[in-house]
Amino acid sequence: MNSYRIAVLPGDGIGLEVTQAALFVLRRAADAFGFSVSFRECPVGGSAIDLCGDPLPPETLDACKSSDAVLLGAVGGPKWEKSSRRPEQGLLALRAGLKLYGNLRPAVKKPFLAGLSPLRNDAGFDILIVRELTGGLYYGKRGRNSGPEGETAFDTLVYTGGEIERILRMGFAAAQTRRKRLTSVDKANVLDTSRLWRETAERLAPEYPDVTLSHMLVDNAAMQLVLAPEEFDVLVTENMFGDILSDEAGAVTGSIGLLPSASLGAPGTPGLFEPSHGSAPDIAGKDIANPSAAILSAAMLLDYSLNEHAAAKAVESAVWRALETPPLTADIAQDSASAIGTRAFAKKIADFI
């Protein structure tokens, strides 16, 4: 029997509830498919600041490095908005500390959930956004200066050829397992980093002859995700563009409570799996959060980090089967009076495994 160690970082707000829901489903999957999982819970984000003054304590990072995979809930909240150490700093430091350079964010709209989407058309879609995670504006040199014309601020956008190549290869590889279409999103009409990005994509394309490569400027990509999301298969892009576009893609599915993510590095590196939603402090502790994104993130954990592919498919299928018929959680239920809570919906999903 294979045995796996998972570092569990519930974080803040609803992170605690949706993480527990995902662990419940993971245990059911382990029992059904004949492997074992052990969990080590560690603080991160605001809860870690409260506990020890650090959004990513060294002990948490060490536990993550010695695990097979990391499952995270959510970080942040108004309680720490004026703190000198922000909860989100812990998440950035965790990605850097584990050398996780690629973020995979699926956005899927099933026909039976069409009524949730703000889009007028009822076409379904299945998009994967591959976002570079450790370069660009978020990690470049930044600062503020005072001068005769007042205060100025700057953020530096830097990418090396190696950083661009490795994330593009992740995008090409992902497209090979899907519908074999890769859209590289940039701003090559303005930015030198984007011109290097586009040149690198063209250089790599002959190595993936089964994948059709196209380029799209980020402003047009944002528009097309609303007008015709079904036309996309895999999008690959830099850090800030990917952050914005993946949230937009999530919005057009109809509920951010359905969006998982995986952050990956080199082979052998433990992956980080988390729902794309935030900590939602306004509903924390009320047992009403939708755990689907956290549970779908657990399915990605099974698939990408543990290589338990059959179990991953079973968990993903169970989520969609549970979403197909009432009762549903309050964010997607047509009749809020019939909505069920986080724990009950997790049990509904687990019962389909």
- Give the model's pLDDT for residue 121: 63
Architecture of domain 107-266 in this structure = 3-Layer(aba) Sandwich (3.40)
- Give the model's pLDDT for residue 304: 96
| Separation of alpha carbons 52 and 325, rounded Å | 44
From the CA atom positions of the chain, what is the Rg in Å? 20
- Give the model's pLDDT for residue 117: 76
- Give the model's pLDDT for residue 215: 98
The average confidence (pLDDT) of the chain is 95
- Give the model's pLDDT for residue 120: 63
Answer with the residue of higher pLDDT: 155 or 82.
155
In the chain, which segments carry CATH 3.40.718.10?
1-98+270-353, 107-266
Each residue's pLDDT tens digit, 189-236: 999 999 999 999 999 999 999 999 999 999 999 999 999 999 999 999
Distances (CA, A) of 252 to 221, 276, 310, 331: 14, 14, 29, 14
Label residue 309 by pLDDT band (50, 70, 90). very high
Q: Locate 182 and state its tokens.
A: 């890769």
Label residue 333 by pLDDT band (50, 70, 90). confident
Each residue's pLDDT tens digit, 117-169: 777 666 789 999 999 999 999 889 999 999 888 999 999 999 999 999 999 99
Cα dihedral sign, 16-17-19-23: positive
Looking up tokens 């430091």 gives: 93
- Give the model's pLDDT for residue 84: 83
| Separation of alpha carbons 105 and 189, rounded Å | 26
Distances (CA, A) of 11 to 40, 184, 281, 321: 13, 33, 12, 28
The phi and psi torsions of 81 (rounded to 5 degrees) equal -65, -30
Can you give the pTM of this predicted structure? 0.93
Catalytic residue numbers, as ranges: 138, 187, 219, 243, 247
Q: Decide yes or no: CATH 3.40.50.2300 for domain 1-98+270-353.
A: no
Q: What percent of the chain has pLDDT over 70?
A: 99
Looking up tokens 């850097």 gives: 96
- Give the model's pLDDT for residue 111: 80
Q: What percent of the chain has pLDDT over 90?
A: 85
User: What average pLDDT does the segment 25-39 reach?
Assistant: 98
Stretch among 18-22, 97-101, 145-149, 283-287 having the lowest mean pLDDT: 145-149
Catalogue the E-assigned strands of 125-270: 125-132, 142-147, 150-155, 181-186, 212-217, 234-237, 260-264
User: What average pLDDT does the segment 65-81 reach?
Assistant: 96
CA-based nearest residue to 290, from 302, 299, 278? 278
- Give the model's pLDDT for residue 119: 73
